[in-house]
Amino acid sequence: MGYHEQKQRLLDSRYIRMARIWAENSYCVRRQVGALIVRDKMIISDGYNGTPQGFENVCEDEATGLTKPYVLHAEANAITKVAKSNNSSLGATLYVTASPCIECAKLIIQAGIRRVVFCDDYHSRDGVELLERAGIEVVQVAENGDCPVGDISGTK
């Protein structure tokens, strides 16, 4: 492994750890997910799963324990946040603690994000498969964030 690959792995592990810490802002009981959008080694946006602005910060239905349908995923929060700013996500990397669902994958593609690094698997691989189909580099890192599990997409 060359110098640049080692340096990228180190950055990936650090940003994933930061996304994990950011996930702690979520009020969701079932799963806390954090996301960072990084461009040119600078964090340009962040997000975590939760309710829309102005809503009570309760993610799960009290009767069923299921996630309410209007809860935003961390990726969607980060993408909408950068869209409201003067920054551009074009060519950026998204660091997210769980692999994107299909809906978030569509947003990632449309936002021009070129690389996605995640740690935990979502219950479906549909989002990852869509990202790969779009030519987006997808990398999974180990649980501790210390080293990549592998480049899933095989794209560089």
- Per-residue pLDDT tens digits of the chain, which is 156 residues long: 799 999 999 999 999 999 999 999 999 999 999 999 999 999 999 999 999 999 999 999 999 999 999 999 999 999 999 999 999 999 999 999 999 999 999 999 999 999 999 999 988 899 999 999 999 999 999 866 554 444 444 443
Cα(69)–Cα(72) distance, integer angstroms: 8
**Which domains occur in the chain, in start order?**
3-151 (3.40.140.10)
pLDDT at 143: 61
Flag whether 147 is marked binding: no
Task: Compute how many other C-beta atoms are within 10 angstroms of the C-beta atom of residue 90.
Answer: 10
Flag whether 4 is marked binding: no
The one catalytic residue among 56, 62, 75, 143: 75
Known active-site residue 62: no
Angle between helices 102-110 and 126-133 (to 10 degrees): 30
Flag whether 123 is marked binding: no
CA distances from 141 to 52, 58, 129, 144 (A): 29, 30, 17, 8
Task: Compute how many other C-beta atoms are within 10 angstroms of the C-beta atom of residue 78.
Answer: 33
pTM as predicted: 0.90
pLDDT at 123: 86
